[in-house]
Amino acid sequence: MQRMMISRLIPVPAIMVLAGLFVAGLAAAENGVKFDRDADYSGYKVYDWIEQKKRPEGSPLAVGGALDTKIRNAIDRQLAAQGFSQAIDQEPDFLVSFDGALEQVTDIQSQRYKIASGVSWVAEGDINSYGKGTLIITILDAGTDKTIWSAWTRKKVKNPGSSDKRIEKTIKQLLSKFPPKL
C-alpha cells in the first residue's frame, strides 16, 4: 500500500515543475511577432505611414515629439536597409504604424527571516524603480487595410529617448522579422 502512494506522488511534483517552467517561459516573453500566413509578402516593396493617433500632450511619445521622430526615422532607415522604399510619387503596397507606452515600475525585494514557529521578521530590502517601455510596429496591406504583420517588444528604459543606438537596435531586431520567413 505504501509503495502505491509513493508511485502516485511522483507525477505530481513532475507536473508542478513542468507547469512552473511553462509559466516562467511565458513571463520571460518580452517580445513577439504575429503575421498573416496567407499574405503574399513578395509583392510588398513600397510603404507609407499611417497617420499616427494623437497621444497625450507631454507624453514622451507625443506625435511629432523627439522620441516619436527618432522611432519613425529609425523605422524608415531600417526599411530602406531591407530594400523597401517610401512612397513619394507612387501608391504604397503596405502601410506602417507604431505605438508604444512608457510606465514606471517599482520592484521591491525584501528578505524574510523565520524567528520561531509562526513568527517571522522582514528585513529591509532593495527598492528598484525604473521605466519599462513597450513598442509595437504594425504593418497593413495598403489595398485591404488588413493587418498582415506586427511585432512588439517590452524593455527596461533608463532614460526615454536618450539612446539613439538602443532605438536603432530595437527597431532592427523587430523589423529583421519582416517579411516573415514562411
pLDDT tens profile 134-166 = 999 999 999 999 999 999 999 887 765 557 888
Report the pLDDT value the prediction gives residue 53, as an integer from 0 to 100: 75
Interval 99-116 mean pLDDT: 74
Domain-embedded: residue 17: no
CA 151 from centroid of its chain's CA atoms: 7
**pLDDT surpasses 70 at 175:** yes
**Residue 5: inside a domain:** no
Q: pLDDT over 70 for what percent of the chain?
A: 71
CB atoms within 10 A of CB 99: 15
68 CB-side CA count, 13 A: 18
> Which residue would you say has higher pLDDT here, 131 or 172?
172
Given a contact cutoff of 8 angstroms between Cβ atoms, the answer to whether 153 and 166 are in contact is no
Q: Sign of the CA dihedral 153, 159, 161, 166?
A: negative
Work out the mean pLDDT of the chain and round it to a whole number: 78
Pairing type for strands 94-116 and 119-141 reads antiparallel
59 three-class SS: coil
The cell numbers describing 74, all together, are: 529609425
Q: What is the pLDDT of residue 68?
A: 87
Q: Where are the beta strands (DSSP E) in 29-68?
A: 31-35, 46-49
Instruction: Note the pLDDT of residue 116.
Output: 67
Q: Which residues pair with 108 in a beta bridge?
A: 127
What is the total count of domains within the chain? 1
Q: Which residue has the cell 527618432?
A: 70
The parent domain of residue 148 ranges over 31-175
Say which CATH number the domain at 57 has. Answer: 3.30.160.670
Specify if 26 maps to a domain: no
Rounded Cα distance between 67 and 59, Å, is: 10
The mean-pLDDT minimum among 37-46, 79-88, 141-150, 158-167 falls in: 158-167
